[in-house]
Structure 1
Amino acid sequence: MKHSLLLLLLLALCRLALGQAAVPYGHNPAAGKFATLRGVKLYYETYGSGPPLLLLHGNGGSSQDFKQTIPYFARRYRVVALDSRAHGQSVDAGDSLSFEMLADDCAALLSHLRLDSAYVLGWSDGGITALLLAQRHPGRVKRLAATGANLWPDSTALAPALWQQMRRGYREGRTQTFTDARRRNDWKVFLLDWRHPHIPLSALARVKAPAFIIAGDRDVIRAEHTVAIYQNLPRAWLWIVPNSGHATLQEHAEEFNRQVDAFFRAKSVPAPAR
């Protein structure tokens, strides 16, 4: 009887410890705040202390996507995980969306937090936003890491299967009338990737911050497109992650975190070979 009670007590303590360890990233009242900036209500969470690091998620995602990223970087950075406008808990009642808007939101958030600049890590759409943030607000970005980013929306940048899927989605959705607010928002978010971005390779010359350009070897972004981004940046590293799809930071979280951290802390970043 005593052994049974002891076992039950130990199980209860284990469940309690696991519950305490399971941080609800993206929905954490202890770390989350709202800021009304540029006409939208942006949600963000902060963790850790040290040099600021801004995390930017992909299309249809939220700060919750960084649950394998935040614990690692919060040990030596002040991590700011943002829900982009019209995503997660961030509210946006407007009828249009662009990556330029998202980049300007990031600059406004840094000002709101009284941060002159930050390291930036962006995944997919977040990688595009990171590049535009560095281009439009060059003093705001110390260094940036972008995984799975593209510069324009067509089959020369995206894998054929993804491009065909997007074309079908557009054909099916363009004649619909969305009366539900959630579905209207989902359609707006879809159109973001269907219509944008439009960043010429020549514009990358204005990105003065060192950049780490990343993609999986089985990414939905064409490898030659990723290489072209790297080659047209003034100071950049390139990493094509073996045995990885689009979700490099989740499929290879431990190595991904180490490599990005090493880039952020490297003493110098050479210019890419032409």
Structure 2
Amino acid sequence: MNSYTKFSHTTGRLVASGDAKIYVEEIGISDGPVLLMLHGGFGTIEDFNTIAPTLSRHFRLIGIDSRGHGRSNLGSTKLSYKTMTDDLNAVINALDLRAFSIFGFSDGGVVAYRYAAASDPKLQRLVTVGASWEMNEKEPCWEMISGMTGEAWKEMFPASYDTYMRLNPKPDFDVFSKSVVAMWTDLSADGHPEGTMRDIAADMLVIRGDNDFLTNLESMARLKAMNNKVNFMNVPFAEHVAFDESPEIVLRAMGKFLGVELK
């Protein structure tokens, strides 16, 4: 076992994906089962550090900074869920991973859904938190996400902005924030997986905070009805980042789903 139990942006490497460089960092048991960690929009792998110490005792955790986030640069390709799924493929191939599960939060969960819908037999199980699978202008969160600006994000989440400026190799928050919002509101085939969720054959644990303003219960009920591989959990009192707000509940469910006792 290595000595690292949290993501720190100090021990990783860069993986090429097109003209972008994607930052990848590993912690936990070097020969343990692989769990890929995909964070949310405007975030980084350090967002997982509430639960990483527990997970690192059982898994080889591989954290990936999404394109344009953390230490990964944006590149010239349009930021989209499809592009980030291509980046995930590049990392999996570069690390020569033969079997793995994925933990995806929010945007990272959308990428995980898209990857799973391609039916890679190397993917064993999938856990998502706060991850929508469909999007349209009637979704309750549409007004908020479509109206988001870089200035508004800085005012609402100053620590997130400071982290971006500290880690990004060539920071340009205005360009970056516009790219993220454009990805959120992309209703093309490059966006949310929508009906391809029926194609996912891997077992899924889909977690939502009961007070999550970015996902809604009706949508998750439709997903469970669509694919019998979905195990759905609604976490009481939690909002969007349920694994931060109720880590004991989320870890216990993850442990049961992944076949380990997480404590």
2:84 is aligned, of 102, 110, 126, to: 102
Higher relative contact order (CA 8 A, sep 6+): 2
**1:208 is matched by which residue type in structure 2?**
A
In the alignment, is the contact (CA less than 8 A) between 1:133 and 1:140 conserved in 2? no
Kindly provide the amino acid, as one letter, of the partner of residue 81 in structure 1.
G
Amino acid at match of 1:103: T
> In 1, are the aligned partners of 2:34 and 2:60 still within 8 Å (CA)?
yes
Which residue in the other structure is 1:123 paired with? Answer: 105
The structural deviation recorded for 1:189 is 1.3
Distance in structure 1 (CA, Å) of the matches to 2:4 and 2:101: 26
C-alpha deviations, 1:169-192, integer Å up to 9, x for none?
A: 37x99xxxxxx8331122101211
1:44 maps to a residue whose letter is: V
Alpha-carbon distance, 1:23 to partner: 7.0
Unaligned runs of 5+ in 2: 153-170
Cα distance in structure 1, aligned partners of 2:254 and 2:117:
20
Match of 1:212 in 2: 205
Write the distance in 1 (CA, Å) between the matches of 2:123 and 2:230. Answer: 14
Greater C-alpha Rg? 1
Give the drift of 1:256: 1.0
Q: Is the 8 A contact 1:95 1:188 kept in 2?
A: no
Over 3 Å counting, the alpha-carbon distance change for 1:168 and 1:76 in structure 2 is closer
Tell me the TM-score normalised to structure 1 length. 0.78
* Alignment counterpart, residue 27 of structure 2, candidates 40, 47, 58: 47
Cα distance in 2 for residues equivalent to 1:142 and 1:111: 16
Q: TM-score, normalised by structure 2?
A: 0.81
1: CA distance, partners of 2:22 / 2:8: 12
1:208 CA displacement: 0.7
Q: Percent identity?
A: 26
- Which aligned runs of 4 or more in structure 1 are off by greater than 4 angstroms? 21-24
Q: How many Å apart are 1:199 and its aligned residue?
A: 2.5
Higher helix share: 1
Post-superposition CA distance 1:101-160 (Å, at most 9, x none):
111211221111111231101111111111111112522311001111112333544x3x
2:186 pairs with 1:195: yes
Deviates more, 1:91-100 or 1:139-148: 91-100
RMSD: 2.3
1:64 matched to 2:58? The reply is no
Residues 117-126 or 95-104, more deviating? 95-104
Corresponding residue number in structure 2 for 1:134: 116
Return 5+ residue gaps in structure 1 as ranges.
1-20, 174-179, 267-274
Aligned-partner residue type, residue 167 of structure 1: S
